[in-house]
Amino acid sequence: MKNDFLQNMAPNAKRSAVVTLILGAIAAVLYMFAVQPFESELEQLQKKLSEVEDSQRRINLDLKSANNIKKELIETNSQLESYQKAFLTPLLESYSMRAKSLLEPLLLGAGLTDLEYIEDTFRKLPLPKPMPRQLHTRAAIRITAKGSYQRAISFLLRLEKEFPLVSLRTLDIRAQQSNHKQDITYVLEWPAVGDLTRK
């Protein structure tokens, strides 16, 4: 019956039917071997793109968090800088030499003369466990000078302003005949970096 139907069709209709069948077959082949794999690949690419976007969002959040941490670290370091500078470190293996280099401008600025610097006994500090890589102590520096009471106090005021972590252990002023030439002895305790067993 199918053959009868095709035989009864006009030649133009037959030609159109054949062309339609051929085009349909080509379209089916193109879809199976070109479009369908492309759609599958496109789906995989979209999935990967979504994963990359998620990863990028996480990275952006991490970067924002890192920037906040960096700002906090800069602020903390700036606050610690004054304390780090306040630690006394040896100069030519001598704490008194370092103290001299730092304190002499203040002593001379206060008008004191005949300056001498000597390392005094160090205060022993308990050692924590485990032992830290860097040890700290309080270095004692004895300074002798000559000057008036006012100049002795002027130096202490300058010292407190410039080195707030330095503490005064003792102050001895021995009266002399001249009010401007009193014998003055300071013993200053200074936070120091170094080995606790050196004294």
Q: Is residue 177 part of a domain?
A: yes
Residues 188 and 112 in one domain: yes
What's the token pair of residue 104? 């002499």
pLDDT per 10-residue tile (average), the chain, 199 residues: 57 71 74 70 81 84 82 78 71 84 90 88 68 70 92 92 88 85 91 58
β-pair type (182-193, 136-147): antiparallel
Last residue in a domain, options 52, 83, 114: 83
Q: Measured between alpha carbons, how far is 127 from 139 in angstroms, rounded to an integer?
A: 16
Are both 71 and 102 inside the same structural domain?
no
Do 192 and 160 contact (CB within 8 A), yes or no?
A: no
Summary count for the chain: helices (H), strands (E): 5, 4
Are 161 and 139 part of one and the same domain?
yes
Domain that holds residue 68: 2-83
Determine, yes or no, domain membership for 90.
no
**Tens-place pLDDT, residues 95-122:** 888 888 888 999 999 998 888 988 887 7
Contacts for 140 with CB less than 8 Å, ≥ 6 apart: 119, 120, 121, 122, 123, 169, 187, 188, 189, 190
pLDDT digits (tens, 9 = 90+) for 138-166: 888 999 999 999 999 999 999 998 888 88
Question: Are 194 and 99 part of one and the same domain?
Answer: yes
Total structural domains within the chain:
2
Residue 150 and residue 178 in one domain: yes
Is residue 22 in a domain? yes
